[in-house]
């Protein structure tokens, strides 16, 4: 289980290590991959630039990196392996459940049987150049509750064998988040949360059960960076331009008008205290719960520096948090 955070901008992990309450999400640095013609990545990348950005994050104190076996059809893990390798001062979290073909960059299905899990673990260890996976997360968001028991039996076995140190579930469903509490080694839930989506039911489970809240989408897939205008579209290989049910922040490659209006309502509050919009969005998450660990994505050194710069300013104060709730008409 996660222990109580030591301060507003650090968190103590399941193994007793204290790290900054900020990780780096590595979906984007994996580069393009697809389901047929539908893009699932964030566009083309420069691996040298990605490695430089990872190294800069480490220089700035970042010690947590999140990836998945399918990001870039495995390329994200390979880039992390090149940059970090088997350094024991860095925590790397990865995920399993979605299969991809690294040659064609195509998604090939979703699987959760024991043989697949074990193959995925060995592949991730090889790509990441690690002796053991620090945190392995089940990637299938809405997997049937009862069937998940066998999945987590396998994860317990892998932990006993020394292949992984801890495990969790990447899910937006509170009942799934709570299902495996009590299993030794079950420490975290990765879920969507940002200023637009405060997910009170999920936070209630996490705080009540002593889990770590790993926040994906902390910047609403880039909307909370402030770099998008109504007429600015994403690139052809960018997942934000895809017609996917869960793509709510962007429509047809442009920011969704309803979220653009919400952003306008809170922009001044988020940028209070000398913060950039990005830093305000991260500060909101730290103020939301003492168990949050946001993992904003990155592709450049500048993005890493802006993200890490939020740590110096800390969580948003209570009056600003209340103002945001009022501006978004939340009780």
Whether 5 contacts 46, CB under 8 Å: no
- Average pLDDT estimate for 67-95: 98
- pLDDT band for position 5 (cuts 50, 70, 90): very low
Helix axes 47-59, 75-83, angle to 10 degrees: 50
Mean pLDDT of 206-225: 97
Q: What is the pLDDT of residue 4?
A: 47
Q: Which residue has the higher pLDDT, 33 or 229?
A: 33
Whether residue 2 is contained in a domain is answered as no
**Confidence (pLDDT) at 97:** 98
Predicted confidence (pLDDT) per residue in 249-302, tens digit: 999 899 999 999 999 999 999 999 999 999 999 999 999 999 999 999 999 999
312 lies in a domain?
Answer: yes
**pLDDT, position 229:** 87
Helices 277-288 & 301-313, crossing angle to 10 degrees? Answer: 50
At 329, phi and psi to the nearest 5?
60, 45
Q: What is the pLDDT averaged over residues 110-123?
A: 98
Higher pLDDT pick, 54 / 246: 54
Nearest to 117 by CA among 157, 176, 73: 157
Which domain, by its residues, includes 221?
10-327
Whether 260 maps to a domain, the answer reads: yes
The pLDDT value recorded for residue 330 is 81
pLDDT digits (tens, 9 = 90+) for 119-177: 999 999 999 999 999 999 999 999 999 999 999 999 999 999 999 999 999 999 999 99
Q: How confident is the model at residue 61 (pLDDT cuts 50, 70, 90)?
A: very high
pLDDT of residue 236: 87
Number of domains comprising the chain:
1
What does the pLDDT read at residue 6?
45
Task: Identify the CATH number of the domain in which residue 239 sits.
Answer: 3.20.20.100
pLDDT digits (tens, 9 = 90+) for 238-259: 999 998 999 999 998 999 999 9
In-domain check, residue 171: yes
Per-residue pLDDT, averaged over 214-226, amounts to: 96
Please report the sign of the dihedral spanned by the C-alpha atoms of residue 279, residue 288, residue 141, residue 223. Answer: negative
Query: Quick check: is 249 in a domain?
Result: yes
Burial profile 61-73: b = 16 or more Cβ within 10 angstroms, e = fewer? ebbbbbbbbbbbb
The whole-number pLDDT of residue 231 equals 86
Q: Which DSSP letter does residue 99 get?
A: E
What is the DSSP-derived secondary structure letter of residue 238?
B
Backbone angles phi, psi at 325, to 5 degrees: -60, -40
Residue 305 lies in a domain: yes
Please report where in the chains the tokens 């390798």 appear, as a residue.
85
Q: What is the mean pLDDT of residues 3-30?
A: 88
Lowest mean pLDDT: which of 5-9, 13-17, 52-56?
A: 5-9
- In a domain, residue 5? The reply is no
- Crossing angle for the helix pair 75-83 and 114-128, nearest 10 degrees? 40
| Percentage of residues of the chain with pLDDT beyond 70 | 98
User: What pLDDT, on the 0 to 100 scale, is given for residue 58?
Assistant: 98
In a domain, residue 3? The reply is no
d(CA 219, CA 42): 14
**Is the pLDDT confidence value at 21 over 70?**
yes
Cβ contacts of residue 17 below 8 Å, gap of 6+?
63, 91
Q: What is the DSSP string of 170-217?
A: E-S-HHHHHHTTTSTTEEEEEEE-BTTB--HHHHHHHHHHT-EEEEES
pLDDT by residue (tens digit) across 40-50?
Answer: 999 999 999 99
């Amino acid at each position: 289980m996660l222990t109580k955070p030591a301060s507003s901008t650090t968190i103590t992990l399941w193994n007793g290590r204290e790290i900054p309450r900020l990780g780096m999400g590595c979906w984007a640095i994996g580069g393009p991959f697809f389901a047929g013609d539908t893009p699932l990545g964030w566009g083309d990348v420069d691996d040298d630039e990605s490695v430089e950005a990872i190294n800069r994050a480490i220089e700035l104190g970042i010690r947590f990196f999140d990836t998945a076996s399918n990001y870039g059809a495995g390329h994200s893990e390979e880039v992390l392996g090149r940059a970090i390798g088997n350094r024991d001062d860095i925590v790397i979290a990865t995920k399993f459940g979605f299969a991809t073909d690294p040659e064609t960059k195509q998604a090939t299905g979703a699987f959760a049987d024991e043989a697949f899990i074990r193959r995925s673990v060995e592949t991730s260890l090889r790509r990441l150049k690690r002796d053991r996976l620090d945190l392995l997360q089940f990637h299938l968001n809405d997997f049937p509750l009862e069937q998940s028991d066998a999945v987590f039996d396998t994860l317990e076995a892998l932990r006993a064998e020394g292949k992984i140190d801890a495990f969790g579930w990447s899910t937006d469903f509170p009942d799934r988040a709570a299902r495996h509490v009590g299993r030794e080694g079950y420490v975290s839930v990765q879920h969507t949360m940002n200023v637009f989506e405060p997910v009170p039911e999920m936070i209630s489970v996490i705080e009540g059960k002593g889990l770590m809240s790993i926040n994906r989408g902390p910047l609403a897939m880039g909307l909370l960076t402030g770099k998008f205008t109504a007429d600015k579209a994403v690139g052809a290989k960018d997942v934000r331009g895809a017609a996917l049910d869960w793509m709510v922040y962007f429509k047809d490659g442009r920011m969704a008008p309803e979220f653009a209006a919400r952003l306008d309502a809170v922009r001044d509050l988020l940028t209070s205290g000398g913060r950039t919009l990005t830093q305000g969005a991260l500060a909101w998450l730290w103020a939301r719960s003492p168990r949050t660990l946001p993992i904003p994505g990155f592709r450049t050194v500048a993005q890493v520096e802006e993200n890490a710069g939020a740590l110096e300013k800390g969580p948003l104060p209570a009056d600003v948090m209340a103002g945001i709730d009022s501006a978004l008409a939340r009780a």
